[in-house]
Amino acid sequence: MELLRTLAATAFAFACGSLPFSYWIARRFLRADLRGHADGNPGAWNVRRVGGTGWFVAALVLDVAKGWLPVWVSRQLLGVRGWDLVPVALAPVLGHAFSPFLSWKGGKGLASTFGVWLALSMWKLPLVELATLLPLVRVLRPSGWAVACTMVTTGAALAWIWPKPAWWLAVWAGHSLLLLWTHRRDLAQRPRIGNARAPIG
């Protein structure tokens, strides 16, 4: 019974993550296909490029929510606990990065990752992520390196600042691998200091 509950929660989490809200917002309200703008990433940052700050905020909130909602529902309503939460916590980011609505392609998953950690730790880990990412993304290029540094800082916080069970570290490791993959083009380049704006999620 527990296995079926975990499988159902994981499937629900993947389905939530796969909803390409940023892409739909751009298509419906901005008459634009994000895959043809900037780096082609169908994420919230490209919504900002196409439609401005207001639409960016709407897309960002929805992308965060689709990471937060399934994990919160799984923990609080379905009673999924411990190691059983690991696949549930990874599934929204997988769904975002490999969305069946976009021919198994998708965005970079940063906002969905943030949403998952909101559900797991409330403000603690998201605060560490923001405190690392926001300064670095303004000066470090390509921006994928800022994301990589953010995940290192998050792992350090989990291990030493707020020590957590091993399954939390498993979630962090899974997210880190996924984000390294989705930012692989950035990470293939040598990091440098710069002030040009670049998509991050």
In the chain, what percentage of residues exceed pLDDT 90? 78
Say whether pLDDT at 195 is over 70.
no
| CA 93 centroid distance within chain | 6
For residue 105, what are the β-bridge partners?
A: 99
Asked which of 19-23, 85-89, 161-165 is least confident by mean pLDDT, the reply is: 161-165
Which of 9-18, 55-64, 133-142 bottoms out in mean pLDDT, i.e. has the lowest? 133-142
Residue 124 banded pLDDT, cuts 50, 70, 90: confident
Residue 127 has pLDDT above 80, yes or no: yes
Q: Which helix (H) or strand (E) holds 132?
A: helix 124-139
Share of the chain above pLDDT 70, in %: 96
Residue 78: per-residue pLDDT: 94
Residue 185 in any domain: the answer is yes
- Cβ neighbours of residue 174 closer than 8 Å, sequence gap 6 or more: 86, 89, 90, 93
Write out the residue range of the structural domain in which residue 19 sits: 2-193
Q: Does 129 fall in a domain?
A: yes
Residues 192, 64: Cα–Cα separation, whole Å = 29
| pLDDT, averaged across the chain | 92
201 in any annotated domain: no
* Cβ-based neighbour number of residue 63 at 10 Å: 28
Q: Environment class of residue 160 by beta-carbon count within 10 Å: exposed (0-12), middle (13-18) or buried (19+)? A: exposed
Say if 177 falls within a structural domain: yes
Q: At residue 199, does pLDDT exceed 60?
A: no
Q: Residues 130-153: what's their mean pLDDT? A: 94
pLDDT in tens, 74-100: 999 999 999 999 999 999 999 999 999
How many domains, the chain? Answer: 1
Question: Cα-Cα-Cα-Cα dihedral of 51, 98, 172, 136, to 10°?
Answer: -30
Q: Which helix (H) or strand (E) holds 178?
A: helix 166-182
Identify whether 199 is part of a domain: no
Q: Give 162's pLDDT tier (boundaries 50, 70, 90).
A: confident
Residue 198 domain-assigned?
A: no
Nearest to 74 by CA among 18, 5, 144: 5
At 198, the pLDDT band (50, 70, 90 cuts) reads: low
Give me the amino acid identity at 92: P
Q: Residue 97 falls within a domain, yes or no?
A: yes
